Amino acid sequence: MRTIAILGATGSIGTQALDIVRRYPERFRANCLTAHSASDKLFELVRAFRPDVAALVNPPEHIPEDVRFCHWVFGPDSTVKALLAAKPQDALCAIVGIAGLDAVWTALDVCQRVLLANKEALVTGGDLVMEKAARKGIPMLPVDSEHSAIFQCLQGRQGNPVRRLLLTASGGALRSWKKEAIYNATVKDVLAHPTWNMGGKITVDCASMVNKGLEIIEAHHLFQMPGEKIDVVVHPQSIVHSMVEFEDGAVLAQLGNPDMRGPIGYAMGYPERMPYEARPLDFAALGHLDFAAPDTDRFPALLMAIEALKAGGSAPVILNGANEVAVGAFLKERIPFGRIPEIIRAALDGVPVAPIRSIADVYAADAAARRAARRELGIGNEE
Ligand code: NAD
Ligand code: MG
């Protein structure tokens, strides 16, 4: 029996992780559940999973009698406080955005293993987070499907060097759209992801291909690979989850139907593969799998992420912060979709790159990026 904190319990990843906890009650106990503000949903989860500690960033108006048995924490640092109080063996970090960085940092102090979905924590604090994980001997188990695939393929490495990582990309909802149409795509267009059902922010990032850019940076940190050795291949069916190429030209791939409970369960049970009723792959029914090079003319943000990784220091933090502001504005229908890469470009051009030596440096760069992005948007300082 392992105790696990589900940070971001009400989200897409969080609720699917809780499906696995429900499926294996003798193996996992979710002793800590946290969320931002979906209080009714969190109350329901608390009733069902009976954690020791629960947290909400936005305090609710009223806490129902039947969920008062657990210890509640509220406020901006409630996730960190909840982790410190619950001391779980594992933490599944499934908060969206740089808002999850503090939780990942604290999980490395409190837990035996970190299960990482929150890619923005590595994009922004990757060097510091990976250094701390290595120093403390804490495994960082990837939950992002591509990184889980690579992690699984690397089990067959036997000490051999890797020539290249190949990240597959679905291409998002606008994969086959014309450039002018992409610029004016609506929130509804963008949220209609063809293969994955995910939270709003990551679905927008898939459509702009910022997500694949963030994932290159995430892979760089998780697998200590230079950016030049990480390639992206568009694969609309999302069956091949990613690949590793070795020096002899052999390519290992991990395949499966798109279902995040695969990679979430793999991280939760690691190194064991827990039986799970995944829909089996039917190759004859699939008939063919398609692959194409990414189109960086229509999706320019991918190149910006590669550029930011190359520049190093605070450049990935600037890219991420500007993107978070731009995606927020797009989801509120304040800007057309095509403004997202323009806002990232403006922040990368306008904010000087600085070295990152501490988490405080990360937040300083993030704040500067957000200011630049808001200036570009003309929306002042509110969220
Ligand atoms: P989501 O929006 O569905 O859920 C986010 C969760 O985090 C919610 O529980 C929310 O209450 C909480 N949260 C949001 N802002 C917070 C804040 N400021 N402080 C504390 N808690 C906060 O997001 P998601 O799709 O589950 O994605 C979560 C993370 O996992 C993201 O980093 C995403 O890139 C990554 N990821 C998601 C998927 C997927 O299939 N959804 C796949 C791969 C990677
Ligand atoms: Mg992914």
Residues 73-93: what's their mean pLDDT?
98
The mean pLDDT value of the chain amounts to 96
Ligand 1: does its nearest atom lie under 6 Å from the Cβ of 146? no
Number of Cβ atoms within 10 Å of the Cβ of 378: 8
Nearest ligand by distance to the CA of 259: 1
pLDDT band at 237 (very low <50, low <70, confident <90, very high): very high
Ligand 1: does its nearest atom lie under 6 Å from the Cβ of 119? yes
Nearest ligand by distance to the CA of 258: 1
First to last CA, the chain: 41
For the cut 90, the answer to whether the pLDDT of residue 382 exceeds it is no
How far is the CA of 274 from the CAs of 23, 278, 317, 381, in angstroms? 10, 11, 36, 47
To test ligand 1's pocket by mutation, which of 13, 20, 222 has the most ligand atoms within 8 angstroms of CB?
Answer: 13
Q: What is the pLDDT of residues 100-143, one digit of tens each?
A: 999 999 999 999 999 999 999 999 999 999 999 999 999 999 99
- Judged by DSSP in three states, 333 sits in coil
Tell me the two tokens of residue 316. 């990935």
User: Structure pTM?
Assistant: 0.97
Tell me the two tokens of residue 95. 């908060």
Tokens 């990368």 sit on residue: 348
Residue 246 pLDDT:
98
Nearest ligand by distance to the CA of 97: 1
DSSP 112: S
Apex CA 156: angle with CA 213 and CA 302, to 5°? 5
To test ligand 1's pocket by mutation, which of 102, 114, 146, 202 has the most ligand atoms within 8 angstroms of CB?
Answer: 202
Q: What is the pLDDT of residues 346-370, one digit of tens each?
A: 999 999 999 999 999 999 999 999 9
pLDDT > 90 fraction of the chain, expressed in percent and rounded: 95
Residue 255 pLDDT:
98
For the cut 60, the answer to whether the pLDDT of residue 45 exceeds it is yes
pLDDT band at 145 (very low <50, low <70, confident <90, very high): very high
- Contact present, 220 and 311 (Cβ < 8 Å): no
Ligand 1: does its nearest atom lie under 6 Å from the Cβ of 88? no
Ligand 1: does its nearest atom lie under 6 Å from the Cβ of 9? yes
Nearest by Cα to 259 from 19, 92, 2, 7: 19
Cα 18 to ligand 1 centre (Å): 14
Rounded Cα distance between 203 and 308, Å, is 21
CA 255 to chain centre: 20
Residue 331 pLDDT:
97
pLDDT > 70 fraction of the chain, expressed in percent and rounded: 99
Rounded Cα distance between 100 and 134, Å, is 19
Tell me the two tokens of residue 35. 């969320």
Strands 2-7, 90-93: pairing kind: parallel
Q: What is the pLDDT of residues 119-129, one digit of tens each?
A: 999 999 999 99
Closest ligand 1 atom to Cα of 200: 2
What is the sign, positive or negative, of the torsion defined by CA atoms of 252, 258, 264, 269? negative
Ligand 1: does its nearest atom lie under 6 Å from the Cβ of 83? no
Rounded Cα distance between 18 and 41, Å, is 13
- Contact present, 164 and 220 (Cβ < 8 Å): no
Ligand 1: does its nearest atom lie under 6 Å from the Cβ of 63? no
Closest ligand 1 atom to Cα of 119: 32
Nearest ligand by distance to the CA of 143: 1
Structural domains in the chain, sorted by start: 2-142 (3.40.50.720), 148-259+280-377 (1.10.1740.10)
Phi, psi at 114, each rounded to 5°: -115, 125
Number of Cβ atoms within 10 Å of the Cβ of 161: 7
- Contact present, 359 and 128 (Cβ < 8 Å): yes
Largest CA distance in the chain: 63
Rounded Cα distance between 118 and 100, Å, is 7
Residues 323-342: what's their mean pLDDT?
97
For the cut 80, the answer to whether the pLDDT of residue 289 exceeds it is yes
- Contact present, 314 and 356 (Cβ < 8 Å): yes
pLDDT band at 35 (very low <50, low <70, confident <90, very high): very high
Residue 197 pLDDT:
83
- Contact present, 41 and 67 (Cβ < 8 Å): no
